[in-house]
Amino acid sequence: MMWILVLASAAIAYSMRISLLLFAGRRRLAPAVDRALAAVGPAVIAAMLTANLMTVDDGQPAGPGQLLGVVAAIGVVAKTRNLLAGSASGAAVLALAAWVGG
């Protein structure tokens, strides 16, 4: 069962990955289509991240420490353009909040 599951899921995921990349090909997309396609990715990622923050543990939203960690990560990345520094800052704030909160 695991073999079928993995191969089927892999085939579906790969089909999605190449779908519009192959379809669009060398064709020049209309500006409206171009705008629409470029808008989807950021919206989907932001929606999934927000949903994850709303349901962290058994449907409960993220706590203050976790939200502060996210804010710290965003702030540091926006300031330094360094992802590792941003992630480390988020983790540090999260650990600090957990320590303060006992």
Partner 1 sequence: MTAELTNPIVARDVLAESGACPDVRKPAMRTSTELDRLVGERSARSANLAIARRGGRDISGIAVGYIPMAMTIGAAISRAPGSAIAGWLGAPLIAAGTAHLTITDIVSTGGSLGAAVLAGFFINARLIAYSAGLATWFGGESRPMRLVIGFFTIDATYLLANQRFRSDDPGTEGRRWYFVGMGVVLWSIWTVAMGVGVVLGRGLPGDLGLEWVATFMLVGLVALNLGDRRHLVSAAIGTIVALAAGGIPGVLLPAIAGAAAIAVAVATPPKASPAAVDEARVGSPLPAPDQEAADQ
For the bound state, the minimum distance from the C-beta of residue 82 to partner 1, rounded and expressed in Å, comes to 8
Smallest distance, partner 1 to C-beta of residue 69, A:
6
Collapse the DSSP code of 46 into the 3-class scheme (helix H, G, I; strand E, B; otherwise coil) and give the result.
helix
SS3 assignment, position 27: coil
Which residue lies nearer to partner 1 by CB, 26 or 101? 26
Long-range contacts of 92-97 (CB under 8 A, 24+ apart): 93/65, 93/68, 93/69, 94/65, 94/66, 94/68, 94/69, 96/65, 97/63, 97/64, 97/65, 97/66, 97/68, 97/69
Write out the residues near partner 1 by the rule CB under 8 A.
Answer: 1-10, 12-14, 16-29, 31-32, 34-52, 54-55, 66, 69-70, 73-74, 76-78, 81-84, 86-87, 89-91, 94
- Shorter beta-carbon distance to partner 1: residue 51 or 100: 51
The least CB distance from residue 60 to partner 1, in Å, is 14
